[in-house]
Amino acid sequence: MSLAEELAAVYGTPLYVYDLDEVAAARRALFDALPEEFGVFYAFKANPHPEIARTLREDDARACGAEISSTGELTAALTAGYRGAEILYTGPGKTTAEVAAAIGQGVRKFSVESLSDLRRVGSVAVGRGVVVDCLLRVNSASASATTSIRMTGTPSQFGIDSETLAELAPRLTSVPGTRIAGAHLFPLSNAKDEESLIAEFRHTIEVAARVQRDVGCAFRFLDIGGGFAMPYAVPGERPGYGKLRAELTAALDVHFPDRRANGLRVFCESGRYLVGGCGELVASVVNVKESRGRKFVILDAGINTFGGMSGLGRLLPVAVRPREGAEPGDTESASLVGPLCTPGDLLGREISLPRLASGDLVTIPNAGAYGVTASLLMFLGRPAPTEVAVRGGEVVSVSRLEHHRVHGEVR
């Protein structure tokens, strides 16, 4: 019996198990793959669990900063021990109240998506008597990779169109309460291979140098985004990036040759690479049924627990671990579904599964990123899954998210 199954016997299912040793190993692997001058921001959207975030921050020499996009993530970062100075606040829909809350907690670095976004940040900063550093998020007119999830090169709510920057520069650099400290580019997510990632980073660094010229101020910060891959809900290992360090150094030497003398700090972002491999989701088979020649395996975990986007037609490539003692090759084709009263609660359609029966446990691997908080957690009001963090095989924490209605005056 695996550790996850042992814990399921104690805490029930659905159950997430997070291995903090794997989180620390992923952090070391990413820093090893990057030039020594690089910093890393952890994208809290991947998994804001406080023990995971603490683990990513715990190494003073190679601590991850926090990239957040809401006051909820701000609270999660502060709970995990992050200070305001270690946080980058991003997102296309920052409200005045959210900016005020962040500045009030000491956040002094914002990624801004437009001139109006910059002005909103500046107006709050002026009211608080501070000046904040702003990174211009740039929507490049061109891109390198043609695969993966594209985040640039098209009309978008994300970023300032690169071709407009030269004209906008005088207004961007004169907003009270702000100083333009650099650029933020995030062209893609989950690159298909190292060659694609390197090509995209090369292009991003070239664009960033052009942006610096167009804006007319020396950058102190440059965030070139992410794209680091990790299998999701299927077996697989964290990929290695053996060529990345040399290639990034070479690209920066070409386009930012004076960066060290000028004090330029360069960052990447990562979510799934850092935490995807740390988690397993354990669920129980509630029922197995046949309908008109098709088999359905019904779990106590569905899109309210994991991969809620599957309910919008994005089926997950889910694989489950065979139960202990199962014969090799003892599989069948069936649909893996959850407990919700909607046909959209579908984790996998006609996929290869071990032969399962009511009461069996199934384990979905590589479920540490985009799990609980990326699911339709409140739909139908079912309890959230329990989350257990372990280190060295020992339980560090046991928790569960709760949702409740607040009555009275709510702001």
Is the pLDDT reported for residue 250 higher than 90? yes
Is the pLDDT reported for residue 209 higher than 80? yes
Does 28 reside within a domain?
no
* CATH number (domain holding residue 393): 2.40.37.10
Q: Which of 233, 249, 270 is the last residue of a domain?
A: 270
Q: Which of 270, 285, 317 is the last residue of a domain?
A: 270
Residue 284 to residues 288, 302, 331, 370: CA-CA distances in angstroms? 11, 11, 18, 20
Q: Tell whether 112 and 220 lie within a shared domain.
A: yes
pLDDT band at 61 (very low <50, low <70, confident <90, very high): confident
Residue range 90-97: average pLDDT?
95
In this prediction, residue 325 carries a pLDDT of: 59
Q: Tell whether 52 and 135 lie within a shared domain.
A: yes
Residue range 109-126: average pLDDT?
97
Does 235 reside within a domain?
yes
In this prediction, residue 339 carries a pLDDT of: 96
Is the pLDDT reported for residue 259 higher than 60? yes
Q: Tell whether 265 and 384 lie within a shared domain.
A: no
In this prediction, residue 2 carries a pLDDT of: 87
* CATH number (domain holding residue 100): 3.20.20.10
Does 137 reside within a domain?
yes
In this prediction, residue 38 carries a pLDDT of: 97
Q: Tell whether 262 and 325 lie within a shared domain.
A: no
Q: Tell whether 188 and 322 lie within a shared domain.
A: no
The gap between the terminal CA atoms of the chain, to the nearest Å, is 48
SS3 track for the chain: CCHHHHHHHHHCCCEEEEEHHHHHHHHHHHHHHCCCCEEEEEEHHHCCCHHHHHHHHCCCCCCCEEEECCHHHHHHHHHCCCCHHHEEECCCCCCHHHHHHHHHCCCCEEEECCHHHHHHHHHHHHHHCCCEEEEEEEECCCCCCCCCEECCCCCCCCCEEHHHHHHHHHHHCCCCCEEEEEEECCCEECCCCHHHHHHHHHHHHHHHHHHHHHHCCCCCEEECCCCCCCCCCCCCCCCCCCCHHHHHHHHHHHHCCCHHHHCCEEEEEECHHHHHHHEEEEEEEEEEEEECCEEEEEECCCCCCCCHHHHHCCCCCCCCCCCCCCCCCCEEEEEEECCCCCCCCEEEEEEEEECCCCCCEEEECCCCCCCHHHCCCCHHHCCCCEEEEEECCEEEEEECCCCCCCCCCCC
- pLDDT tens digits, one per residue of 169-203: 999 999 999 999 999 998 878 888 999 999 999 99
In this prediction, residue 154 carries a pLDDT of: 64
Domain that holds residue 132: 34-270
Does 18 reside within a domain?
no
In this prediction, residue 316 carries a pLDDT of: 61
Does 120 reside within a domain?
yes
Cβ atoms of 41 and 67 closer than 8 Å = yes
pLDDT band at 150 (very low <50, low <70, confident <90, very high): very low
Q: Tell whether 224 and 366 lie within a shared domain.
A: no
Q: Tell whether 84 and 179 lie within a shared domain.
A: yes
Q: Poorest-confidence range of 140-144, 172-176, 281-285, 374-378? A: 140-144
Does 1 reside within a domain?
no
Q: How many domains does the chain have?
A: 2
Q: Tell whether 249 and 309 lie within a shared domain.
A: no
Q: Which of 270, 288, 305 is the last residue of a domain?
A: 270
In this prediction, residue 411 carries a pLDDT of: 63
Does 359 reside within a domain?
yes
Q: Which residues contact 173 (CB under 8 A, 6 or more apart)?
A: 180, 215, 216, 217
Residue range 111-120: average pLDDT?
97
Between 270 and 139, name the one with better pLDDT: 270
In this prediction, residue 193 carries a pLDDT of: 92
Q: Tell whether 387 and 361 lie within a shared domain.
A: yes
Q: Tell whether 286 and 257 lie within a shared domain.
A: no
- pLDDT tens digits, one per residue of 379-389: 999 999 999 99
In this prediction, residue 49 carries a pLDDT of: 98
Which pTM was predicted? 0.93
Q: What is the mean pLDDT of the chain?
A: 91
Does 67 reside within a domain?
yes
- pLDDT tens digits, one per residue of 312-370: 555 566 777 656 655 666 789 999 999 999 988 988 889 888 899 999 999 999 999 99
Q: Tell whether 171 and 256 lie within a shared domain.
A: yes
Q: Tell whether 347 and 229 lie within a shared domain.
A: no
In this prediction, residue 189 carries a pLDDT of: 83
